[in-house]
Amino acid sequence: MGLRLVLVTGRTLEQAAGMHKGKCSEEYRAAVSRGEIAPENLAALSLAEGGAALLRTEHGTAEVRLFSADLPAGLLFLPLGPFANTLVGDETEGTGMPSFKGIPVEVELL
C-alpha cells in the first residue's frame, strides 16, 4: 500500500523551455517527469532526492522521479506533459475541461 496524495499538475519554466526544444528531447522528458512533494512525504516513502516512484490514479500510471519542495504535506506537483497526461482522466463534467488538478494519487516505490 503506497502513500495517498493529491496530484496537482501545472506549468514550469523548464517544461515550457522543453516545449521549444521539441517534446522528444531529454531535457523535456526530465522536466516533465520531475515530481515534487513535501519533505516529510518524501521521508515517509524512505525515498532519496530524485528517487523513482510509480504514480497511480484511477486513470493510469506514470513512472516519475520525486524531489522534496516547499509544498504542504499531502500535495504532489507534476509539470504538465505526457507523464501527467496519463494520470488525468478525459471526463470534463460538461465543461470541456478535464481535471488537471486535485486528483487522488497513490505513490508506490519501484
Partner 1 sequence: MTERTEHVTCTFCGCLCDDITVEHEDGRISSVSRACPNGRAHFLDYAPAPRLPRIRGEEASWEEALAEATRILNAARSPLLYGLSSASTEAIRKAVSLADRLGAFVDSTSSVCHGPTGLAMQAVGEPTCTLGEVRSRADLLLFWGCNPAASHPRHFARYSTTAKGRFVPEGRKGRTVIFVDVRLTPGARSADLFLRVDPGCDFEVLTTLRALVREKPLREQEGVCLGGVSLGVLRDVATRLKSCRYGVAFMGMGLTMTRGRDVNVAELFRLVAELNTYTRFSVIPMRGHGNVTGADQVLTWQSGFPFAVSYARGYPRYGPGEFTAVDLLRRGDADAALILASDPAAHFPSRAAARLASIPTVVLDPEESLTARGATVWLPTGKAGIDVPGSAYRMDGVPLRLRPFLAPRRPSDEEILGRLLEEVTP
| CB 55 within 8 Å of CB 35 | yes
Among candidate residues 106, 102, 101, 109, the one with its CA nearest the CA of residue 43: 109
Locus of grid cell 496519463 = 86
Residues in touch with partner 1 (CB under 8 A): 6, 8-13, 16-17, 19-24, 59-60, 70-72, 75, 77, 80-82, 85-86, 88-102
Residue closer to partner 1 (CB basis): 24 or 110 = 24
Pairing label, strands 75-79, 3-10: parallel
For the bound state, the minimum distance from the C-beta of residue 46 to partner 1, rounded and expressed in Å, comes to: 23
Nearer residue to partner 1 within complex by CB, 53 or 84: 84
The answer to whether residues 9 and 98 touch, using CB atoms and an 8 Å cutoff, is: no
Nearer to partner 1, 79 or 109 (CB): 79
The C-alpha cell at 85 is 497526461
Query: What is the nearest approach in angstroms of partner 1 to the Cβ of residue 55?
Result: 13
Min separation Cβ 80 and partner 1, Å: 7
Minimal distance, residue 62 CB to partner 1, in Å: 9
Q: What angle do CA 40, 32, 48 make, to 5 degrees?
A: 30
